[in-house]
Amino acid sequence: MNLARQLSGLNLERRYPLLLALLATTIWWFVNGQRQWDISVSLSSPLVNVIAISVGFLAAALSILLTAQSLPALDRLKTSNEFNTLVDYHWSAIRLGLISVALCMLVLSFPPCDRSDHWEIRWISIPWFLFAIWSFIAFFRVLALLKQLLTKG
């Protein structure tokens, strides 16, 4: 029973960034209606900066984590499978950040237009918002796990 509880907790930990991002995207879709594209365009440029800085921080933290030697909590993690999970979470957050930057660049590449003529471009705002929120939640998951690692040591 204890193993089943641990596995279900691990599944929740793996999946909660996506589940929260899907929930936030659904709420955003219904609340913003016709303004989605305008919001996407106005926020894409600042998001590129924030996400790029976050991805750079996570890449630097991952490189430090992979080369660190003297932290007792890290030694315990390396002997278990949890270290691989932490590295997977890092890579996942970095990938999600890069996808978010690519979607921001796609949004910024469209010329200004009247929404009534080009209603189909509104659909780009859905994956744009989903990946932006998903990547931020994944970033915070990694930061929370790193904080736990550092405070245990």
pLDDT in tens, 95-148: 999 999 998 888 888 766 655 455 666 677 888 889 999 999 999 999 988 888
- Averaged confidence pLDDT in the chain: 81
Residue 40 is encoded by which pair of tokens? 């996407």
The reported pTM is 0.81
Distances 47 to 20, 36, 52, 85 between C-alpha atoms, Å: 19, 15, 8, 27
Q: Quick: pLDDT tens for 19-54.
A: 999 999 889 888 876 666 677 777 888 888 999 999
Nearest to 153 by CA among 65, 70, 73, 61: 73
Q: Quick: pLDDT tens for 66-83.
A: 887 677 777 777 777 778
